[in-house]
Copies of this chain bind each other. A is one copy, B any other.
């Protein structure tokens, strides 16, 4: 995992060269400019209070250019006691859901002159904890936990401890998904979105539903299922037993869940996959089993993944502004710490497309 860099330490150790050879230091720049170390430093960081005579400043900057000087961020971090590192923890960077969020985080980080480091946990809560620990070690200034919290109580607690330690060390934190930790959170309206989807589908004339529900330990999956149920209840419909199939939160998970449902035999006419990626897998399964889309089975997803907008039939879904989620999370985290963690709620917007044609007329 995130262990042992010893092999490497020794490799460089051989050179007996402790300095980063090749990089000029501020000291050298100062000497070249004929000023003191302090003055050289001020020439770069000069604020209102600590200013440098213009000509000296010029000389320092010139010397820096000549020597191809770049400040050593690690040294700055030491001296200042703070870094400009953002740690982003995602479940799976190859999943378009997370890469969209990452794009948002990176864009916002850029605006603040922050550098983004990233860890992909492969949906393993234990690795989430490991990454947070690694980020604490890096003295990252900001930690962003993207993606569903887990139902797993044991590692959730360990995560809580680790996050608290991160905060105790002066780091700022934001989470995206559920408000399960005492940190700033961008809360996604999974329940409301799924409920809205359910009622909309009902309005379209669908009466018999099934749900490909994702892994039960993912709170996001649970919430979407619960929301869908609630939405159906509101219009007097329901989800009979045997109509909910769990599966991985991936394309293949959707494929497998749909296959199982088909295997069981079902009279559902509309299936809700709790995310778009699963929905696409479900569509493939339906096709492979000779079920016509959307005539024999309507399909809906959740997220409105951009890359998936071109599947056919076009997928009905709940749009979530994924990139914005990332932007907001960073902004929340970057605000001067308040006494209370902040919460920002976003609601998904139901988008009806061809995969769920109107049956009411």
Q: Interface on A for B, CB 8 Å cutoff?
A: 1-6, 8-12, 17-23, 45, 47, 68, 70-75, 77-85, 92-96, 99-100, 102-103, 106-107, 110, 112-120, 133-134, 136-139, 141, 165, 168-170, 251, 277, 280-281, 283-284, 287, 306-308, 310-312, 323, 336
In the complex, what distance in Å separates the CA atom of A113 from the CA atom of B4? Answer: 6
B74 and A77 form a contact (CB under 8 A): yes
- 26 A-B residue pairings within 8 Å (CB atoms): A1-B113, A2-B110, A3-B113, A4-B113, A5-B114, A8-B112, A9-B80, A12-B81, A18-B79, A18-B80, A21-B170, A22-B165, A23-B168, A23-B170, A70-B165, A72-B139, A75-B78, A93-B99, A96-B307, A103-B120, A107-B120, A116-B119, A117-B117, A281-B310, A307-B308, A311-B311
Quick one: which of B9, B115, B310 contacts A117, CB cutoff 8 A? B115
Expressed in whole angstroms, the minimum distance between the Cβ of A280 and any Cβ of chain B is 5
Collect the chain B residues with CB atoms within 8 Å of residue A307's CB: 96, 251, 277, 307-308
In the complex, what distance in Å separates the CA atom of A306 from the CA atom of B281? Answer: 12
Expressed in whole angstroms, the minimum distance between the Cβ of A120 and any Cβ of chain B is 5
In the complex, what distance in Å separates the CA atom of A112 from the CA atom of B139? Answer: 20
B113 and A103 form a contact (CB under 8 A): no
Collect the chain B residues with CB atoms within 8 Å of residue A312's CB: 287, 311-312
Q: Which residue of B lies closest to A134 (CB)?
A: B115
Expressed in whole angstroms, the minimum distance between the Cβ of A209 and any Cβ of chain B is 22
A310 and B93 form a contact (CB under 8 A): no
Expressed in whole angstroms, the minimum distance between the Cβ of A108 and any Cβ of chain B is 12
In the complex, what distance in Å separates the CA atom of A118 from the CA atom of B90? Answer: 13
Expressed in whole angstroms, the minimum distance between the Cβ of A206 and any Cβ of chain B is 23
In the complex, what distance in Å separates the CA atom of A18 from the CA atom of B19? Answer: 25
Given the known interface contacts A75-B78, A120-B106, the answer about A169 and B22 at a Cβ–Cβ threshold of 8 Å is yes
In the complex, what distance in Å separates the CA atom of A9 from the CA atom of B80? Answer: 8
What is the total number of copies of this protein in its complex?
Answer: 2
Closest 6 CB pairs between A and B? A22-B168, A99-B99, A94-B103, A74-B77, A117-B117, A23-B169
Given the known interface contacts A74-B139, A115-B138, the answer about A80 and B310 at a Cβ–Cβ threshold of 8 Å is no
Collect the chain B residues with CB atoms within 8 Å of residue A138's CB: 73-74, 115
Given the known interface contacts A133-B70, A170-B22, A307-B96, the answer about A106 and B78 at a Cβ–Cβ threshold of 8 Å is no
Collect the chain B residues with CB atoms within 8 Å of residue A19's CB: 81
In the complex, what distance in Å separates the CA atom of A133 from the CA atom of B23? Answer: 12
Quick one: which of B5, B81, B82 contacts A112, CB cutoff 8 A? B5
A94 and B84 form a contact (CB under 8 A): no
A84 and B8 form a contact (CB under 8 A): yes
Expressed in whole angstroms, the minimum distance between the Cβ of A78 and any Cβ of chain B is 5
In the complex, what distance in Å separates the CA atom of A306 from the CA atom of B280? Answer: 12
B311 and A310 form a contact (CB under 8 A): yes
In the complex, what distance in Å separates the CA atom of A3 from the CA atom of B75? Answer: 18
Known: A22-B169, A70-B137, A96-B99. 4 other contacts (CB 8 A): A20-B170, A23-B136, A70-B169, A312-B312
In the complex, what distance in Å separates the CA atom of A281 from the CA atom of B309? Answer: 10
Expressed in whole angstroms, the minimum distance between the Cβ of A284 and any Cβ of chain B is 5
